[in-house]
Amino acid sequence: MKILNQTVKMEALALSAPHVQVKFYTKQPQYAIPDTPFSVPSSVTTKELSSLINSLVAGESGDGNIADFDFLISGEFLRLPLDQHLAQKEISSEDVVELEYIVHHPAPRPEHSMDHDDWVSSVQGSDKYILSGCYDNTLHIWKTDGGPIMTIPGHTQPVKCVAWVDSQSEEPVSTFLSGSHDQTILLWEWNREKNEIDCRHCCRGHAGSVDCVAVDSSRQRFCSGSWDKMLKLWSAVVNMEEEIEEEVEVSQKKKRKGDKTKKVQTRVPLLTLSGHSEGVSAVTWTDGNEVCTASWDHTIRLWDLEQATQKSLLQGSKVFLDLAYSSLNRLLITASADRHLRLWDPRVKDGAIVKCTYTSHTAWVSSVAWSPANENQFISGSYDNLMKLWDRRSPKAPLYNMGGHEDRILTVDWSIPSLLLSGAADNQLKVYGYLDAQQQLMENI
Amino acid sequence: MATKRKSDIGNGNHVADEVDLFVERAVQGEDKSEDDTTDSEESVYSGLEEEEDTSDSGEDQDSAESDDFKDDDDNLNENEMKDELSKKELDVQNNNRSNSDLSQTTQATVPEYEYDSSDEEDIRNTVGNIPMEWYKNYTHIGYDIDGKKLVKPEKADELDEFLNKMDDPNYWRTVTNKLTGQSVILSKEDVELIQRLQEKKHPSAQNEMYAPWVEVFVNETMIHPLSNRPEHKRSFMPSKWEKLKVGQMVYALKMGWMKPTKTQEDKEADEEKEEENKFYMLWKEDEESEISKRIRQNIPAPKIPLPGHEESYNPPPEYLFTEEEKKKWEEQDEEERRLNFIPQKFNSLREVPAYPRFINERFNRCLDLYLCPRQSKMKMNVNPEDLIPKLPKPKDLQPFPTQQALVYRGHKGMVRCLSADKSGQWLASGSDDGTVKIWEVVTGRCMKTFKIDDVIKGLEWNPNPSLSLVALTVEHSVILINPGVGDKLLVSSTDDMISSFDTSETQTGKISPVEWSVYDGKKYDEGFRIKITHEKEVTQVTWHVKGDYFATVVPKGDSRSVIIHQLSKRRSQNPFSKSKGLVQCVRFHPVRPFLFVASQRYVRVYNLLKQELSKKLMTNCQWVSSIAVHPRGDNLIIGSYDCRLSWFDMDLSTKPYQTLRHHKKALRQVCYHPHYPLFASASDDCTVIVCHGMVYNDLLQNPQIVPVKILRGHTPENGVGILDCVFHPTQPWIFSAGADSTIRLYT
């Protein structure tokens, strides 16, 4: 009876307007409503639909406005009025339209801004700490609440990439990596309790700037890609027993710093893979033994590290600037030297199949990161100074735009599920707090 | 039976009749001869013939008669039933006959005019022509002329009739006159007449129907004239009218108005001749002649416009000139006047004077008509779209830079020169603020800044991938710096190469046009390596592809305007002994030992091995600003200050293969992409125009040049827009250096 009333009320909104039969369903059982078709005006918007769902849910549970809802029609977000969306997607408005509704994602909140002395080239978060690389040749460690822990000099040229190796262990020692224009990757050891930092290994072998590093899920190995077109595999284990002669230059610098007592050992790559014809811009692990790289030669290559061969190649049309892989949905998202983000399925073997193109940025997209918790969400940073939060199902419009930077965003990171990190050429590292709808729900409950 | 007898009698009759006729005829003949004395012979002749004829005809008659028997028999057989009727008819005829007979008989006795003979009716009975049956029951049969009853004669009874029939030999020719009731015995002539009528012959036997034709006028000339009348005068006088007519004809013939009428043969002959002589003009144009066309497509003379209200003798007052208008009209030039007269008002048409300009206007009109050729203009129906050469769509020619991607900010003066390193990671730029900056391409980060404190005019990265050197020109010198970016090994090996040079080797006999010097100390640490000092200002430096030789341009150096340096041996030489104009720009050929030297108007191509001029290209422009050589070396583009970009094909002529004039202001720089089929030109109008310039391996196929994109973004500064442009070495991207102290990357 109440449903009927509701329907009548809805109809009262636009008596003469054409109506569409819709059916609501959800995968979130706490918001489930009876499986009855409704007749709604075809020009209905998300907001009206959301209030309808609210009243339906409230009618059963008894309280007021519960949450905002978003609606999906066959896997795509409803952003326009319903009739326009149907017309655009060429869906018949005469059939019953099935609308999936999910709780609206809350907006990310800007939380902290960390000042650097120079451009922030790379950033990665881990548990409670944030590691950032800077163009003034230093590394920075920050607390997630924005407090600086330390600034680490060590590279002789701007740092291009950073990565945590092991930070969640019970031991008070964390390890991390940093790659730089000086063609080295340094493996650092940080004692959190003593707040001591040591450069344990200097990984040499690249003949160009190290643009990207990626650590294996087992935390034993890492890969690096460089401008010299090579992909190199290294051991990530801090091993003091290695007897390799110290590089003179590094030791000199350490001596100059004065407080470093432990020796820096040079490490050579376990494996070098060549194949790209231009510099490697991004690397990521997709599997225990599989690495995916994106390059300036417009290709994405998948490498089998056990056999040390290239497994497959995905041909693009633009220079790739970044690449992200989600283990949740096993899809790749790439950022190119154009305005688009592209979704790839690496398992597809035959040629380059772009599953979807996400267009909203107005300049080059410099970096991209998948959500570690939600299989549908990812963020992207662009030279148009905006970071965008996307849902995989909404190719035309992002969920949120995060402004705040005054210059090009060079890097974004979403390693900590509740924090969105972005580093930009305005010397800022910005932290946005983000609670997924489900997390929010959990908190509410 | 009766008929047979009748015919017998007829025959006898005939003979007797003949004799009578002959007598009569003789009398007639005598009369004739009396009448026509001249034609006596004829008459005689005919008479003779007649005689013979009659004798013949007698026999003929017989045969005809025998023929007639049959006819008569047939008639009788057919008409047996109507015997009575035919008899009556015969009676009537006989009656008539008897009348005439009576008249004939009376002729002899009674004088001719005793009774009125005009009426042929028997006047003894005056009842007229009525059926006599009406008097059947009366005793009289009518009335005579005096009104007395004519009593019916006594009719013999049947017995008497029979007796008569048996006895009277004339019974067969006795008929009853109906009018009088008297029986009349037909004479021999009457019977004959009846017979002739029955035979459908002429009633009188004298009238011979088939008499032989006697020609009066015969073709045979007769010695005697038909008439003796003397000839008329005009028969021997020449005709005056004829003479007049002939005279007219002669004159017409003389004038060619009249032509002798052609006979059929002549006509045929003429036709044949025409067919023989018929030639077809194979090469004749289909168009008709000018004159006939003009006649056919007559364009009438334009009509004189009809007079308006102004021309009226009594125009509405608004058409009359006010004083102002009149003054204005008088001041105006004759050509400018809207009206060539002043409208005037008259009270009546009678007062209107003669129009003084009439002759003048007629004359002008005539001039207009004959001096303006009236021709219909032949319009060419050409679709202007068709004249445009078919070019591929720019979309199909991708990739090429389409939009601005990055802006490199940091310079404080106009950026004059750009150069990208071989790998594409770094970009070097020289500016008027006296600095050289090295940029990281992908982020737009300025990695290094070299302070020179003077305007950097030219700069080029060493193309040798194993050397990390940038050559730049400052004032009178060329400085080689090691930017110290990229591979550390390269940087150090370059330094090693420079420091390992043995200075003693430079001491050669020749006087070097330049002075080589090596930096040390603080400057060396900053990255400066070698300085080559020239006598005059250096504007450009360009490397050979191999990276060992480089050439510098000293425009004011006269004979030493182009100097080629060798890095490995630190030698310099002046390849040209004479200056050939103000040298603007030089380039090395990428593959062969050629040097392109651009003076203001020409580009000379020198073969450095043979030391000779191999080609001289005519640029057709006023002032060459820049040249660029295709990476394969067969094509060349030249940008000039007069807004032109010329494409030369070295295998073709010395004139431009194609000239593009897309820029609105002077071109400052042109460049080729090392891999993609692209070239670009940068201009003072703040645009970079990217063109697709496909060069095919097939020598027969000409290069395909399509402008694809105009890139904007820079702002002009003091009239200077973009000073330099250079393609990214590996990507289809282009950098442009603007006077607004920015560098922009278009992708």
| pLDDT, position B30 | 40
pTM of the full structure: 0.65
pLDDT reported for residue B149: 84
**What's the Rg (C-alpha) of chain A?**
25
Which of B443, B444, B731 has its CB closest to that of A319?
Answer: B731
- Of the candidate ranges A27-41, A332-346, B353-367, B480-494, the one whose mean pLDDT is the lowest: A27-41
Instruction: List Cα–Cα distances, A274 to A206, A233, A308, in angstroms.
Output: 12, 11, 10
Q: What's the angle, vertex CA B477, arms to CA B473 and CA B480, rounded to 5?
A: 60
User: Does residue B422 register a pLDDT over 50?
Assistant: yes
Residue type, B592: R
A333 burial type by CB count under 10 A (0-12 exposed, 13-18 middle, 19+ buried): buried
> Which of A135, A337, A338 lies at the smallest CB-CB distance from B445?
A135
Provide the shortest C-alpha distance from residue B405 to chain A (in Å).
6
The pLDDT of residue A133 is 92
Residues B598, B623: Cα–Cα separation, whole Å: 10
Query: How long a stretch of residues is chain A?
Result: 445
Q: Is A154 on the interface with B (CB under 8 A)?
A: no
Contact B747 A337 (CB under 8 A): yes
Number of neighbouring beta carbons within 10 Å of residue A139: 25
Report B:489-548 residues touching A (Cβ under 8 A).
Answer: 489
Q: Over the Cα atoms of chain B, what is R_g? A: 72
Per residue in A193-215, pLDDT tens? Answer: 888 888 888 999 899 899 999 99
Q: Do residues A217 and A235 share a domain?
A: yes
- Give the Cβ contact number of residue B418 at 10 Å: 26
Which 440-469 residues of chain B touch chain A by CB within 8 A?
A: 442-445, 447
Residue B671 confidence (pLDDT):
93
Pairwise CA distance, residues B199 & B69, whole Å: 11
CB B195, CB B10: distance < 8 Å: yes
What are the pLDDT digits (tens) for A91-112? 887 788 888 888 777 788 888 8
Distance of CA B431 to the CA centre of its chain: 70
Residue B84, pLDDT score? 44
A209 touches chain B (CB under 8 A): yes
pLDDT of B708 over the 50 cut: yes
Please check whether residue A364 touches B, CB under 8 A.
yes
Looking at beta carbons, which residues of chain B come within 8 Å of A296? 424, 730-731
Instruction: Using DSSP, state whether B529 is helix, strand or coil.
Output: strand
Interface A-B, measured as beta-carbon pairs within 8 A, has a size of 49
One domain, residues A229 and A303: yes
A208 and B423: CB-CB below 8 Å?
Answer: yes
Task: Provide the H-helix boundaries in B256-331.
Answer: 264-276, 290-296, 323-331
* CATH at A15: 3.10.20.90
CA–CA distance, A129 with A171 (Å, rounded to integer):
15
Put simply, the chain A residues between 85 and 124 with a CB less than 8 A from any chain B CB are 119, 121
A134, A137, A181, best to mutate vs chain B, most B CBs in 10 Å: A181
pLDDT at B122: 54
Strands (E), A157-274: 159-166, 173-180, 184-191, 196-204, 210-215, 221-226, 230-235, 265-267, 271-274
Pairing state between β B667-672 and A196-204: unpaired
Q: C-alpha B571: how far from its chain's center? A: 78
Is B731 in contact with A337 (Cβ distance < 8 A)? yes
Nearest to A337 among B405, B444, B489 (CB): B405
Interface touch A209/B425, C-beta < 8 Å: yes
**B417: Cβ–Cβ under 8 A, 6 or more apart, which residues?**
B429, B430, B456, B457, B458, B459, B460, B472, B723, B724, B737
Same domain as A20, residue A122: no
Handedness of CA A264, A268, A270, A273 (dihedral sign): positive
pLDDT-based confidence at A322, cuts 50/70/90?
A: very high
What's the CA gap between A307 and A298, in Å, rounded?
A: 24
Q: How confident is the model at residue B245 (pLDDT cuts 50, 70, 90)?
A: very high
One domain, residues A87 and A132: no
Q: Which chain A positions have a beta carbon within 8 Å of B485's beta carbon? A: 181
Cis previous bond, B399, omega within 30: yes
Residue range A296-314, pLDDT digits in tens = 999 999 999 888 899 888 8
Answer whether B747 sits within 8 Å of A278, measured CB to CB.
Answer: no
At A138, the amino acid letter reads T
**A336 and A424, same domain (yes or no):** yes
Nearest to B625 by CA among B649, B648, B601: B601
Token pair belonging to B138:
């009366």
Asked if the C-beta of B485 comes within 8 angstroms of chain A's C-beta atoms, the answer is yes
Q: Do A364 and B731 touch (CB under 8 A)?
A: no
How high is the pLDDT of residue B247? 94
The letter for the amino acid at B595 is L
- What is the per-residue pLDDT across B536-588, written as a single tens digit (0 to 9) for each? 889 999 999 988 899 999 888 888 888 899 888 888 888 888 877 888 899 99
Q: How far is B495 from chain A (nearest CA, A)?
A: 17
Using one digit for the tens of pLDDT, what is the confidence trace for A23-58? 888 877 777 777 788 888 888 888 888 888 888 777
Interface membership of A156 toward B (CB under 8 Å)? no
> Closest approach of chain B CAs to the CA of A376, in angstroms?
29
How large a percentage of chain B has pLDDT more than 70? 81
Q: Which of the residue ranges A136-150, B96-110, B338-352, B409-423 would you say has the lowest mean pLDDT?
A: B96-110
Q: Are A434 and A108 within 8 A, CB to CB? A: yes
Distance CA A349, CA A183 (A): 33
**Contact list, B730 vs chain A (CB under 8 Å):** 278, 296
Choose, out of B406, B408, B425, the residue to mutate when testing the contact with A (most A CBs < 10 Å): B425
Residue A280 has pLDDT above 90, yes or no: yes
Tell whether A183 and A238 lie within a shared domain. Answer: yes
Last residue of a domain, one of A103, A137, A170: A103
pLDDT confidence of residue A282: 93
Report yes or no: B212 and B49 within 8 Å, Cβ to Cβ: yes
pLDDT at B111: 56
A166 pLDDT exceeds 50? yes
A136 in the same domain as A14: no
| B487/A207 CB distance under 8 A | yes
Residues A149, A88, single domain; the answer is no
Residue B111: left if φ>0, alpha if ψ -120 to 50, beta else—which one? beta
Read off the pLDDT of each residue in B653-676 and give the average, rounded to a whole number.
Answer: 90
Which DSSP helix (H) or strand (E) runs through B471? strand B470-474
Residue A189: CATH number of its domain: 2.130.10.10
Question: Could you tell me the strand order of the sheet in which A138-143 lies?
Answer: A120-126, A129-134, A138-143, A148-153
Length in residues, chain B? 747
- Which residues does B357 contact at the CB level (< 8 Å), separation at least 6? B340, B341
Q: How far is B437 from chain A (nearest CA, A)?
A: 16
- Does the pLDDT of residue B107 top 60, yes or no? no
The alpha-carbon gap from B399 to the nearest alpha carbon of chain A, in Å, equals 9
Q: Per-residue pLDDT for B509 more than 70?
A: no
Is CATH 3.10.129.10 the right assignment for the domain spanning B396-746? no
Give B115-136 pLDDT, tens digit per residue. 555 555 556 777 878 888 888 8
Q: Give the pLDDT score at B1.
A: 39
Contact B406 A364 (CB under 8 A): yes
Same domain, yes or no: A6 and A77: yes
User: In percent, how much of chain B has pLDDT > 90?
Assistant: 19
Q: Which domain holds residue A199?
A: 109-444
For residue A412, the model assigns a pLDDT of 93
A421-438 mean pLDDT: 85
**How many domains, in total, are found in chain A?**
2
Are A183 and B487 an interchain contact pair (Cβ–Cβ within 8 Å)? yes
pLDDT at res. B17: 41
| Angle at the Cα of A141 from the Cα atoms of A139 and A143, rounded to 5 degrees | 160
Cβ distance A227 to B730 less than 8 Å, yes or no, reads: no
Name the amino acid, one letter, at B207. Answer: N
Instruction: Give yes or no for B581 touching A (CB within 8 A).
Output: no
Q: State whether A311 and A427 are in the same domain.
A: yes
| Strand spans (E) along B608-672 | 612-618, 624-629, 635-640, 645-649, 658-660, 667-672
B488:A182 CB<8 A: yes
Q: pLDDT per residue over B610-656, tens digit each? A: 888 888 998 888 899 999 999 988 889 999 999 899 999 888 888 89
Q: Give the domain-ending residue among A64, A83, A103.
A: A103
Are residues A328 and A409 located together in one domain of the fold? yes
- Interfacial B residues in 286-325 facing A (CB < 8 Å): none
CB contact under 8 A, A181 and B485: yes
Measure the CA–CA gap between B239 and A229, rounded to whole angstroms. 132
Q: What is the pLDDT of residue A2?
A: 43
- Give the pLDDT confidence score for residue B123 in this predicted structure: 65
Long-range pairs, A396-399, Cβ under 8 A, ≥24:
A396/A79, A396/A359, A396/A360, A397/A77, A397/A79, A397/A360, A398/A358, A398/A360, A399/A105
A138 shares a domain with A14: no
B489 chain-A contacts, CB cut-off 8 A: 207
Q: How confident is the model at residue B292 (pLDDT cuts 50, 70, 90)?
A: confident
B409 vs A: CB within 8 A: no
Q: Give all strands (DSSP E) within A26-166, no chain letters.
A: 37-41, 69-73, 76-77, 97-103, 109-115, 120-126, 129-134, 138-143, 148-153, 159-166
- Give the residue extent of every domain in chain B: 309-369, 396-746
B219 in helix, strand or coil?
coil
The pLDDT value recorded for residue B558 is: 80
Nearest CA in chain B to A206: B487
Average pLDDT, chain A: 82
A246-250, A433-437, B402-406: which range is least confident on average? A246-250
**Does residue B364 register a pLDDT over 70?**
yes
Contact of A400 with chain B, judged by CB distance below 8 Å, is answered with no
Q: What strands, in cross-sheet order, belong to the sheet with B528-533?
A: B456-461, B470-474, B477-481, B528-533, B515-518
Instruction: Find tokens 């050197």 and name the residue.
Output: B469
pLDDT band for position B23 (cuts 50, 70, 90): very low
Chain A, window 183-202: residues with a beta carbon less than 8 angstroms from a chain B beta carbon: 183
Give residue A232's pLDDT band: very low, low, confident or very high (50, 70, 90). Answer: very high
Residue-wise pLDDT for A372-403, tens only, equals: 888 888 999 999 999 999 988 888 888 888 88
Put simply, the answer to whether A228 touches B485 (Cβ < 8 Å) is: no
Q: Which amino acid is at B614?
A: S
- Residue pair A337/A318 in contact (Cβ under 8 Å)? The answer is yes
Q: Is A320 on the interface with B (CB under 8 A)?
A: no
Closest CA to B405 of B427, B421, B422, B431: B427
Average pLDDT over chain B, rounded to whole?
79
Q: Which residue has the higher pLDDT, B478 or B398?
A: B478
What tokens does B621 get? Answer: 């422009």
Amino acid A254: pLDDT = 44
Query: Domain boundary residue among A103, A138, A153?
Result: A103
pLDDT at A253: 46
The nearest alpha carbon in chain B to A207 belongs to B487
Query: Residue A342's pLDDT is what?
Result: 92
